[in-house]
Amino acid sequence: MALLRQTHRCLLHQHRNFSASAVSQTWFGNVEQAPKDPILGITEAFLADENPNKMNLGVGAYRDDNGKPVVLDVVREAERRVGGSHFMEYLPIGGLKDFNQVSIKLAYGDNNEAIADNRVAAVQSLSGTGSCRLMAEFMTRWMPGSKIHITKPTWSNHHNIFKDAGVDKKEYSYYKPSTKGLDFEGLVSDLKAASPKDVVLLHACAHNPTGVDPTPEQWKEISSVMKDKQLFPFFDMAYQGFASGDCERDAQAINIFMEDGHAMGCSQSYAKNMGLYGQRIGCFSIVTEDPKEAVKVESQMKAIARPMYSNPPLHGALLVSQILKDPELKQQWYKEVKGMAERIITVRQSLKDNLESLGSPLKWDHITEQIGMFCFSGMTPEQVDKLAQDYSIYMTRNGRISMAGVNSQNVKPLSEAIHKVTTE
């Protein structure tokens, strides 16, 4: 009997130990904290700063001259027109057909032969990020062995997108720190060394983060090299219209490649040029050899989208379609996007002029030679840190300034702070 009681106590003790052990082992105890996104980290530091004169020059979202977010008048009018006019049913997997058609015409041109010949496969996407991710997954399934070549530097999320899709990537030369301009020789050399059938990610305009774009003549040479090497161009076009204020000029690289007879892919986003950041509205398209090929390619684009997000959202597609299909609204949008671009161009000039008037021994011509939302200032990470610590001015540590956050009220103190940290 005593032996039985002792055995019972042992079993009870083991049960309690097992229960305690089971409780301590959670399902997700091995999950590590993910590193902070560099842009969001900047915003967090900015929000925690109590300085009333602080500046957030990290986020790539347009602001007016008072530092306020902007909803375009043409978007408000499009909202008024589409409000209450549609049911809230699911869109097809490929999205709103009218939206896809007006989008590819904006990217490739109204009278483009590939569009007229039904050689362009297109689906609505979750803005530019979604378009790039669809391309990455398409590469994994239908372009096995092809690497993606990405500019050095590039938008940081490009690396994440293609890595998560399992696509091998290589960087190619793009930015030359000594001139704060394009390393054209290095770029061409790297493309010539690429393997046939590889994919090259090209920023159609307003390169992020450098603001440095090739000239039309340089684009022609890039196109020729890629044609000779059998490289597939994939354009990321996040700033059409926003870069120069002219949608046709901002699409000139794509037009050059089209004239040279390339098959190609394109990612479009309406976040910057229509201010539809939160609508997550974009288009992913591939120019193919013939209509039959386009039908098959588009079917596979939809097959990728289906398990990823099933189908895209309706509202943003209705807004873009309304604006681009209506001649009056389209002209109004051209005017408003040009106004945004011109404000950015104006503050670039003001920043350069202020730095020069302070007697800076450095050259600042690159501020006005670069284009688009971002200025690649050339400041070191240590200088950027000092701007944040001493002047409450926040930007990415690679020295990228979001010019959308610069305005007529803060450009002078910004210039003074930059002058101090770059001349100490």
Could you give the residue numbers annotated as active site?
Answer: 155, 236, 272
What is the C-alpha separation between 233 and 317, in angstroms, rounded? 26
What is the C-alpha separation between 342 and 244, in angstroms, rounded? 8
What is the C-alpha separation between 420 and 355, in angstroms, rounded? 10
Q: 172: which strand partners?
A: 151
What is the C-alpha separation between 199 and 204, in angstroms, rounded? 15
Pairing of strands 393-394, 55-56: parallel
Estimate to the nearest angstrom the gap between the alpha carbon of 32 and the chain centroid: 27
What is the C-alpha separation between 339 and 271, in angstroms, rounded? 16
Pairing of strands 232-237, 199-203: parallel
Q: What would the two tokens of residue 218 be?
A: 């340089």
Residue 274 vs residues 9, 62, 165: alpha-carbon distances, Å: 73, 10, 29
- Neighbouring CB atoms inside 10 A of 325's CB total 13
